[in-house]
Amino acid sequence: MDSVELFGGCGGLALGIGKAGFRSLAIVEMDCEASGTLRANGGHFGHAPGVLCQDVGTVDWTKYCGVDLVAGGPPCQPFSGGGVGAGNLDPRDKWPEAIRAVREIRPRAFLFENVKGLMRKKFEDYRNSVVRALEDEGYKVVLALVDAADYGVPQRRHRVFFLGVRADLGIAPTAPRKTHSLERLVWDKWVDGTYWERVGITALNGIGVSPREKQILRKLKRAGERPALLPWKTVREALLPLGDPDGVNGHVHKEGARTYPGHTGSPLDLPSKAIKAGVHGVPGGENMFVRDDGSVRYYTVREAAEIQGFPAGFELSGAWGTVMKQIGNAVPVALGKVMATSLATAISKGSTMPKVA
């Protein structure tokens, strides 16, 4: 199965799509630094996809007519809670270009990602108009508001995905079921202790049970049964294989991390707060974690990339802030894989269904 991606960034979604079985024919990204990252890492996509460093508005999509999947993350700034929220009045709104790509390519499926801010009441009319436009192109559409931590990503990252399957395939898209939970992590930490064994430290280690965990723990003890899903993955688990910063492959310590009200860093034994692009890659100092002694430090580039799911050999070159911006804009690889796998399954089933006369 082949795919084409708009707004490719530095390749998080493309990597996930590749892991779901799609072969990327082209990735369009107008940011020169991000498109440079895509070119430098072509081998990680299974082959070297064509990287087009240009505005999506200038692309003739008809040359890709009939590919299986169109994917991408239209710019989120018009809908982000951290911005002015101008929506479709913001010149950076590129949803019309995403719809045009679907219209001209006529893929069997599409996968678009955006911030959860798009689900706010103020954008309801515009969001519905996007869905209607995609339906008018002949697709069945479902929206999935998800937390990446619920799918094995060591990060609390809330995003909305638009999943669509061409109606003539006779099958509707479905949002993937959650595979991981906080309840199971609480069980592993405070009931059977297996979490501490996994990370190789003594339980508590100076860290108490949070109020939310206490509430969950009481419910778990009353039920007396281990939750069925897998445990959320934590910062400590994600960073354990990397060790201390060694100056290799972006694993370089950066000074200056500090806390202030509302910006306290990520606890080690929970999923990370969302890795963000922000201004110079440092939105409110939140791209950092809290050590066991209570001090904080910024994530290294390699650590942030690890939390987002980029493979060890993935090259991210440039200044710390520039590279962190690319990482913060990316879709977690594992989350992209889960969503794309759902569509791959749907269109494969649709291809085998008998045609209706």
Active site residues: 76
Give the type of residue at 161: F
Q: What is the CA radius of gyration of the chain?
A: 21
Taking the C-alpha atoms of residue 257 and residue 281, their distance in angstroms, rounded to an integer, is 13
* 298 strand-pairing partners: 288
Closest CA to 269 of 217, 200, 336, 218: 200
**Whole-angstrom Cα distance, residue 157 to residue 274?**
5
Residue carrying the six token digits 């400590």: 236
For the chain, the residue count is: 357
With H, G, I as helix, E, B as strand and everything else as coil, classify residue 122: helix
Distance CA 3, CA 72 (A): 10
Helix 95-105 and helix 124-136: axis angle, to 10°? 10
CA distance 53 to 329: 17
